[in-house]
Amino acid sequence: MKARLMHRDRDFNLRQPLPWNEAALTQDLELNTLFNAMAQGDEFIFSVVRNAVFTGMGLDQETILYRQHILRDCLKNPSVTREIYDLILEALESKKKATWFIFSMKYPDSILHTSLDVMAIFLTMLKKLRIYLTDNIENLESEGFRGLSAMLSRELDDKYLARVEAHLKQLKFRDGTLISATLGMGGKGIGFLLRKSMEKRRPWYRLLFPGKKQAFTYFVNPRDVSGSSALQELNRRGINAVANSLAQSVDHIENFILNLKTEMAFYIGCLNLNEKLSEIGEHVCFPEPAEFGKHKHHFKGLYDVCLSLTMKKSVTGNDLEATDKNLVIITGANQGGKSTFLRSIGLAQLMMQCGMYVPADSFNADLCSCVITHYKREEDKKMNSGKLDEELTRMSEIVDNLKQDSLVLFNESFAATNEREGSEIARQIISALTENRLKIFFVTHRFEFAYGMYVKKSKEHLFLRAERQPDSSRTFRLSIGEPLQTSFGEDLYKKIFSHADTA
Amino acid sequence: MSFNSILSERTENRVEGETRSSGMPAFFIDLNLDQVIDAITASKTEYDLKPFFYTSLHTFSTIAYRHEVFLDLEDNRIADIIMDFAKQMRIIREYHTQVEKLHYPLQKQFWFLDAVEMYCEALKDFKRKLGFCSLTSTGLQSFWQYLRNYLDTEPFTVFAAATKELKRDLAEIKYCMVIKDNSIRVRKYESEADYSSEVEDTFSKFKDGSVKDYTVKYPDYPDMNHVQAKVLEFVSQLFPEVFARLNFFCTENTQYMDPLIRDFDREIQFYIAYLEFIKTFKDHGLAFCYPKLSADSGDICDTEAFDIALANKYSKQLTSLVTNDFYLRGKERIIVVSGPNQGGKTTFARMVGQLHYLASLGCPVPGKGARLFLFDNLFTHFEKEENIQDLRGKLEDDLIRINDILDSATSQSIIIINEILISTTLKDAVFLSKKIMERLVQLDLIGVWVTFIEELSTFDKKTVSMVSTIVPENPVQRTFKIVRLPANGLSFARAIAEKHHVTYESIRKRIGS
């Protein structure tokens, strides 16, 4: 039995390793803001969405669309979605209550009794879920939900549940336990095996004359304490296997339920975020993922969802048409929205790849194998290595982990030295990287570097500029444009040496 | 050749009889052999091996007999087979201990039957495996022949078959218990279905991956409580015929074990224990050899030998263990060891004593090629703690002890003397020592004498001087090498002087400069 709400063919694994640069991504793209908005204070949901977002890189188009369909169902039927999740939570809560007083799993009979209770709780919940899904199936269009409903109806039909019911009753052993054994070391019993009692199936007249069968009975005196516990131990040995098997079955069912909870938690997280964004007047769209390596970035109204969540208001979005580009260099004024733009690129990519909607009017981009960030960092005083040294150490680490079809985001990298050197380093690195199948977005102030790339006039390069209105106000919009050298120095020259040219 | 004992080829003189009266030899403590034998036998206390190690041999043929067995057992395959057999025999003994301890007669019978079954199987297995080995020693060859004959002839074959059959019939018994409230009903099993697997089948659709095992582990104590005993009793009533046979079997076969095989199991451990003990040393590159023993006192030697007790004590740092060589030729009889203290003199003296003693047990000894003397008696005289109870003075005590030794020693004896007569003036000590040396030389016995009295080393043609040495550059550091050199108290002082640049030349140079 599988939930199959995250993958068509397997469970979602909460323990799968996160990418090596998970910490850098979290910091550079401010991912915790996103995760918190999705979790709404629920630690479990936080861990699920965090895992899902990080491990989305590497999913194929098909899986992304599979999740998108389920998510569309959820966005359309938020109350149904939440009801399913609540059913799960409720069952797990009841289980906790039924087992909290079990201090030890030392005795098969206590294991058996607890397992019987929990089994009843779980099966009741699964039955409810089965019925609930059947009742709402018309509103659920996705393959994922339909599959789950069909699976539950198939596996847990009334006939099966009745059979389980009968076992649960039988396992209370109202008529005593029937245990077979053979003679082991020293004549002690071994190989205890619980047997199905056939006594009841005999015709009534056999019950009247049981006599022919040779049997010996021993009654333990109720005051014989050691005798009673010896008898109890024999009984426990007899039910040991069945207690184990039932307890393991309970664990298996619990694993199924926990997995269902995990997979549902992702959609609950998406639902939470969507509601949050609606509140502040933002909107989302389902992206169209393109094949790996297609080098496509085509979007309208892409905004930085983290900025929006932080500012609690709608923020400016950007449009971009970058087909067959492998390098986008962004230059321009400070506070002009360059970093925000870069972050929105990274966030949208991660959200799209894990099956989420993206914060845009429309979004179409090729899948990447991993998102990598290289951001300028504050100088760490504790570290002995200089800043450039630190930057280049990180760069080296990136090179170690670089895969084909990576998306690499540089934000004012290699600025920790003078213009010439920094530019030269950047030029060398970027030239080397672009010769491979990668896509790079590079925010820089380094005119020499940016302009140096610009004059190559490569068709695969695109240059964006943060605009400043003539009145110095910022639009936070980027537009296509060649890198400009700041006119600040020239201005100054002109201002101070006002007569220089004319002299 | 008929088999009698793996320790001796002689039928009239079993080692056990020889040693029953004698305890640990007097010199054991002086030579630290007590530590060695303790270590050798530590993991084998059940075999009571010490008497074997307390008894030295005086016949060359028995020593040769043991050397052969040792050589066979140095083949790991053969040793492993013996060890397997020993392991099974140990379990059999444990079973019998169990039989003694247990309370319920039926239960005793079961354990007894198991012990017997294991005995039969162990012997067959042992015989089969030994058959694949090429045994070269007279001892093991004749044992194998004995074993083969024993296993292939009538009383045993019938007995083994009966054991097997009874065991099988008991194992086939299957019964049912119905436990309800405070009652337990026992009856024959009637092909009722396995309910656990039915339950498991029902829930199998949830199975996915592995989950925790909830099976409670019930330790299987050999003891039985009265409920279990009752169940067994009921079972015996349900299957009276098999249980009657079991009862008969147990009363008929109380003395089933062959005494020679039982003794072999114990005695072979003498070899196994010793080989196990020296393995650590061998693994660290220390050499062991089978000494050539002679009655000729004029020709003994060993190279790269070491104090086996010291090696045992420092078994963690064996790579730094120092080995020593020695020899006596022609008329040479007594090694006089002198030199700086803490230089390994006592260790050397002990070593010579140990080598001879271990050789007299028929064991391989430390060293690369030893020729040793088969003594009639080994004497040691080591400095003793002053005994308050003893009213005699220390000097007097020393002299009484040495006199006793000299009275009982013969030309075939070995004597090891370590730093005696130190509780008197040098003049007295020299005088007395010379007197004692006179007697030793007269006796023409072999000896090692550790002393600070260097004159002893040049006493006679029969005395040989060996000295402990130091590292010249750092006199505080000892080499623990004892070498054949004239006793020269100066070398030590000179080295120290050189180190501090106060030798003649050094001082001249220093003043000159």
Q: Which of residues 455-494 of A touch B (CB under 8 A)?
A: none
| Percent of chain B residues topping a pLDDT of 70 | 86
Q: Which of A1, A219, A248 sits opposite B205 (nearest CB)?
A: A1
- Which pLDDT score, from 0 to 100, does residue A499 have? 46
Q: How far apart are CA B185 and CA B176, in angstroms?
A: 8
pLDDT tens for B85-135 read 999 999 999 999 989 998 899 999 999 999 999 999 999 999 999 999 999
pLDDT band at B244 (very low <50, low <70, confident <90, very high): very high
Reported pTM: 0.65
Give chain B positions within 8 Å (CB) of A233: 218
Give chain B positions within 8 Å (CB) of A221: 182
DSSP E strands: which ranges in A362-460? 362-366, 370-375, 406-411, 439-443
- Which pLDDT score, from 0 to 100, does residue A203 have? 53
- Which pLDDT score, from 0 to 100, does residue A223 have? 92
Stated as kind and residue range, the H or E segment containing B337 is strand B334-338
Q: Tokens for B203?
A: 């829930």
Q: Which of residues 154-173 of A touch B (CB under 8 A)?
A: 155, 163-164, 167, 170-171
How close B506 comes to chain A (CA, Å)? 53
pLDDT tens for B140-152 read 999 999 999 999 9
pLDDT tens for A481-501 read 888 765 443 443 444 444 444
How close A247 comes to chain B (CA, Å)? 7
A234 touching chain B per CB within 8 A = yes
- The pLDDT of A450-456, averaged and rounded, is 88
- Which pLDDT score, from 0 to 100, does residue B391 have? 47
Burial zone of A22 (CB within 10 Å; 0-12 exposed, 13-18 middle, 19+ buried):
middle
Q: Which CATH architecture has domain B284-512?
A: 3-Layer(aba) Sandwich (3.40)
Q: Which of the pair, B423 or A150, is modelled with greater confidence? A: A150
pLDDT tens for B359-378 read 999 999 999 999 999 999 99
| Percent of chain A residues topping a pLDDT of 90 | 61
Q: Which of the pair, A469 or B408, is modelled with greater confidence? A: B408
Give chain B positions within 8 Å (CB) of A262: none
- The pLDDT of A233-262, averaged and rounded, is 92
pLDDT tens for A218-231 read 999 989 999 999 99
pLDDT tens for B303-359 read 999 999 999 988 888 777 889 999 999 899 999 998 776 678 889 999 999 999 999
Give chain B positions within 8 Å (CB) of A105: 214, 216
- Which pLDDT score, from 0 to 100, does residue A467 have? 73
- Which pLDDT score, from 0 to 100, does residue A435 have? 80
A13 touching chain B per CB within 8 A = no
How close A187 comes to chain B (CA, Å)? 6
- The pLDDT of A276-304, averaged and rounded, is 93
B170 touching chain A per CB within 8 A = yes
pLDDT tens for B174-225 read 999 999 989 999 999 988 899 988 998 999 888 888 888 888 888 878 888 9
B118 touching chain A per CB within 8 A = no
> Is-contact A236 A173, C-beta < 8 A?
no
Lowest mean pLDDT among A41-55, A118-132, A382-396, B356-370: A382-396
- Which pLDDT score, from 0 to 100, does residue B472 have? 63
- CB A188 to CB B170 under 8 A? no
Nearest residue in B to A198, CA atom: B192
How close A87 comes to chain B (CA, Å)? 19
Cα–Cα–Cα angle for A268, A272, A275, rounded to 5 degrees: 135
Give chain A positions within 8 Å (CB) of B196: 193-194, 241-242, 245
- Which pLDDT score, from 0 to 100, does residue A503 have? 37
B241 touching chain A per CB within 8 A = no
Q: How far apart are CA A421 and CA B444, in angstroms?
A: 95
Q: How far apart are CA A480 and CA A478, in angstroms?
A: 7
Q: Which of A167, A178, A242 sits opposite B176 (nearest CB)?
A: A178
A211 touching chain B per CB within 8 A = no
pLDDT tens for A373-385 read 998 875 444 433 4
- CB B203 to CB A252 under 8 A? yes
- Which pLDDT score, from 0 to 100, does residue A335 have? 65
Query: Going from the N-terminus, what domains does chain A have, and what CATH number goes with each?
Result: 22-172+251-279 (no CATH), 179-243 (no CATH), 288-496 (3.40.50.300)
> Is-contact B163 B110, C-beta < 8 A?
no
Q: How far apart are CA B360 and CA B354, in angstroms?
A: 10
- CB A196 to CB B225 under 8 A? no
Q: How far is CA A441 from CA A22, A184, A323, A326, A341, in A?
A: 19, 74, 14, 8, 10
In the predicted structure, residue A205 carries a pLDDT above the cut 90 = no
- Which pLDDT score, from 0 to 100, does residue B295 have? 82
Q: Tokens for B412?
A: 């075939």
Q: In what order do the strands lie in the sheet with A177-183?
A: A189-194, A177-183, B174-180, B183-188, A215-219
Q: How far is CA B271 from CA B32, B274, B275, B354, B362, in A?
A: 20, 5, 6, 17, 10
In the predicted structure, residue B18 carries a pLDDT above the cut 60 = no
- Which pLDDT score, from 0 to 100, does residue A369 have? 93
In the predicted structure, residue A330 carries a pLDDT above the cut 80 = yes
Sorted by where each begins, the domain ranges of chain B are 15-36+44-170+255-269, 284-512
In the predicted structure, residue B388 carries a pLDDT above the cut 90 = no
In the predicted structure, residue B396 carries a pLDDT above the cut 80 = no
- Which pLDDT score, from 0 to 100, does residue A208 have? 53
- CB A183 to CB B203 under 8 A? no
Q: Tokens for A223?
A: 């005051």
Q: How far apart are CA B478 and CA B131, in angstroms?
A: 53
Which candidate, B178, B38, B455, places its Cα nearest to that of A176? B178
Select, from the ranges B231-245, B422-436, B442-456, B482-496, the one with the highest average predicted confidence (pLDDT).
B231-245
- The pLDDT of A116-125, averaged and rounded, is 93
What ipTM is given for this predicted complex? 0.76
- Which pLDDT score, from 0 to 100, does residue A92 have? 95
Q: Which of residues 443-502 of B touch A (CB under 8 A)?
A: none
Which positions ≥6 away from B17 have C-beta within 8 Å?
A: none
- CB A240 to CB B205 under 8 A? no
Q: Which of B110, B207, B215 sits opposite A186 (nearest CB)?
A: B110
In the predicted structure, residue A90 carries a pLDDT above the cut 80 = yes
- Which pLDDT score, from 0 to 100, does residue A384 have? 37
Q: How far apart are CA A282 and CA A313, in angstroms?
A: 8
Q: How far apart are CA A199 and CA A45, in angstroms?
A: 53
Give chain B positions within 8 Å (CB) of A188: 107, 220, 224, 228, 232
A419 touching chain B per CB within 8 A = no
Measured N-to-C along each axis, helices A338-353 and A31-39 cross at an angle, to the nearest 10 degrees, of 50
pLDDT band at A399 (very low <50, low <70, confident <90, very high): confident
DSSP B291: P
Mean pLDDT estimate for chain B: 86
Which positions ≥6 away from A466 have C-beta within 8 Å?
A: A330, A331, A332, A333, A336, A337, A338, A341, A474, A476, A477, A478
